[in-house]
Homo-oligomer: A and B are copies of this chain.
């Protein structure tokens, strides 16, 4: 490709003030342009990367026997109604109506569509297992889009849906998909971590996210030093050993306490005890029903809203209670009681780990102490709703550390979550009995993964593309090409490289050497091959490897050898 005619120019200055390198560099280097917030054009350079990435993913999926197909973009809304997902949670399903009144969803995922196409066939146990997937545009009506391709409202996702006969057979499929994911990311030079995660509105019993560590990532997870436990903060579980198991249990008493003692800091100042000794009450309101939920938790812990939402069947529906909400309960911030308000109480399991809590019934002048959970109060809803933090320990006693990264893929066990809800989603077993399919689903966001590669592989000059997915292998940079002789020499090399099957971007522009080198670093192809007047005199090309900065002077034969192709 001659750069003079390439659609998608580099820019000298960075636009905007994005903190994301992938956003800044992909725009500046001419890979992407925003249409409106969260919706991007992939320009020709990005398109080439995109196809190389999809080819890798396809190859790894096909190796596992998965079969590619494609579903319509508009999903009949009846299908989403069959599984109660048309309004489950607040996850940004976009709706569209045709002029005959037909209602459709612009899906962010396609479980219902794939179950629907499968149930159009009368399949038997002999036809199973199978795994079908597509690359297709997905839509999420995100409230906030981040800059660049990391969190968008429209994106291409590879989504696969497996159909097995049983939980046991499924385990093999799940592991195979995990292998395919690791292999795919590795081929893109991404080191992914397989992290236990929350399944959100997808459903099922367990799932994993593939997270590539990176400071700007939005996924926070906890990991042990030996890597035996990796769990997203949404689901990470911690050990809750007794904090003061040898302390004698005392009778609850009411004490005098000044009105200024409201926050945890106030309490510690007033009582001198550590944070875990206090009862903490956190209040939420369901945005759909208005229900008030009070979580009582050990004072040193925070509430994990994702765990709580899942527990309460209120995915993306819990909001922090306002002063108004508290006033309606007859209380105010700092005065919420651990029992007794007209609200739904949830007790975190950490309440069992402390004897003789301080707090629980604060008034203007008093509070309670030596409160013991299970004796002085007990809630019918008890669950783990605590947020894991670095320094906490796993249940088997290993310290947890914090990491951040970008979620580039995920795999879900679905079991019969969908096939039980949807009619006729069954196959015939050997006895002729209809049995619901046992399912899994598996997603990779292609654009987000592309951006993650840039987050991980760049320097202060620009992108450093891995060879496997670089838009071109070689950036042929012609200097002094205003001179016919040099231009002819460069043209000749361009022709020969292409004839040998090498993908070349040829900077044939009238521009200064400095500009060409800066653009070349910015675009970030693996090899820069410089044709110059000086080189012509020596019969040599200068080759610079982008990743290492290593410079070599080589003949055409040596160049072809270095690129691993036969001379024409």
Pairwise interchain contact B6-A74, C-beta atoms closer than 8 A: no
Contact among B71, B95, B99 for A35, CB-based, below 8 A: B71
- A537 close to chain B: CB less than 8 A: no
The answer for the CA separation of A5 and B35 in the assembled complex, in Å, is 42
Q: A72 in the interface, Cβ–Cβ < 8 Å?
A: yes
Q: Please pick, from B44, B69, B92, B120, the residue contacting A68 in the complex, using a CB distance under 8 A.
A: B44
| Docked-complex contact B41 and A154, CB < 8 angstroms | no
Q: How far is it, in angstroms, between the C-alpha of A482 and the C-alpha of B72 when the chains are bound?
A: 39
Instruction: Please measure, in the bound complex, the distance between the C-alpha atom of A36 and the C-alpha atom of B78, giving whole angstroms.
Output: 11
* Interface stretch (choices A125-133, A278-286, A417-425): A125-133
User: Are the C-beta atoms of A132 and B76 separated by less than 8 Å?
Assistant: no
Given contacts A5-B130, A69-B7, A71-B41, contact A143 B99 (CB under 8 A): yes
Cβ contact of A117, chosen from B1, B33, B118, B141, cutoff 8 A: B33
Which of B8, B47, B141 contacts A98 (CB under 8 A)?
A: B141
Q: What are the residues of chain B within 8 A of A100 when measuring CB–CB?
A: 143
- A67 interfacial contact with B, CB 8 Å: yes
A73 at the interface (CB under 8 A from B): yes
Question: Chain B residues near A139 (CB, 8 Å)?
Answer: 73-74
With an 8 A cutoff between CB atoms, is A563 at the interface? no
Residues of B within 8 Å of A68, CB to CB, are 44, 47
Q: Determine if A394 is an interface residue (Cβ-Cβ < 8 Å).
A: no
Assess whether B44 is in contact with A69, with CB atoms less than 8 Å apart.
Answer: yes
Given A41-B71, A42-B70, A143-B99, also A4-B126 (CB < 8 A): yes
Question: Number of A residues whose C-beta is below 8 Å from B?
Answer: 56
Residue in chain B with minimal CB distance to A120? B33
Question: Is A501 on the interface with B (CB-CB < 8 A)?
Answer: no
Decide: B67 and A41 in contact? CB cutoff 8 A.
Answer: no
**In the complex, A152→B43 CA distance in Å?**
28
Mask: chain A, 98-112; 1 = CB below 8 Å from B; 0 = not = 111010001000000
- Complex interface: chain B residues within 8 A of A5 (CB): 65, 127, 130
The A6-55 residues at the B interface (CB cut-off 8 A) are 6-9, 33, 35-36, 39-44, 46-47, 50
Question: Closest Cβ of chain B: how far from A276's Cβ, in Å?
Answer: 41
| A239 interface residue (CB < 8 Å to B) | no
Question: How many Å from the CB of A56 to the closest CB on chain B?
Answer: 16
- Min CB–CB distance A428 → chain B (angstroms): 13
Q: A120: which B residues are within 8 A, CB to CB?
A: 33
Q: Are B96 and A70 in contact (CB under 8 A)?
A: no
Query: Is the beta-carbon distance between B92 and A69 smaller than 8 angstroms?
Result: no
Given known A7-B132, A127-B4, contact A70–B98 (CB-CB < 8 A): no
A76 CB contacts on chain B under 8 angstroms: 35-36
Indicate whether A137 reaches chain B with its CB closer than 8 angstroms: yes
Question: Would you call A153 an interface residue if the criterion is a C-beta within 8 Å of the partner chain's C-beta atoms?
Answer: yes
Known: A68-B47, A70-B42, A72-B40. A141 touches B99 (CB 8 A): yes
A215 proximal to B (CB < 8 A): no
CB nearest to A136 among chain B residues: B137
B94 contacts A69, CB within 8 Å? Answer: no
Assembly CA distance A33 to B127 (angstroms): 18
With A and B bound together, what is the CA distance between A121 and B32 in angstroms? 12
Tell me, yes or no, whether A116 is within 8 Å of chain B by CB: yes
Which B residue sits closest to A163, measured CB to CB?
A: B7
Q: Find A96's partner among B94, B113, B117 (CB 8 Å cutoff).
A: B94
**Contact B154–A35 (Cβ < 8 Å):** no
A45 CB, min distance to chain B CBs, angstroms: 9
Partner of A70, one of B41, B132, B153: B41
Q: Which residues of the partner chain B approach A118 to less than 8 Å between Cβ atoms?
A: 7
Q: Which 10 A-B pairs have the closest CB atoms?
A: A39-B72, A44-B67, A96-B96, A35-B72, A41-B117, A42-B70, A47-B68, A47-B69, A44-B69, A98-B141
Known: A41-B69, A73-B137, A73-B139. 6 other contacts (CB 8 A): A35-B71, A41-B70, A41-B117, A43-B69, A47-B70, A74-B153
Task: Give residues in A with beta carbon < 8 Å to B.
Answer: 1, 4-9, 33, 35-36, 39-44, 46-47, 50, 65, 67-76, 92, 94-96, 98-100, 102, 106, 113, 116-118, 120-121, 123, 126-127, 130, 132, 137, 139, 141, 143, 153-154
**Can you list 14 A-B pairs with a CB-CB distance of less than 8 A?**
A5-B65, A5-B127, A5-B130, A7-B132, A9-B121, A35-B71, A44-B68, A44-B132, A73-B137, A73-B154, A74-B139, A95-B96, A96-B96, A98-B141
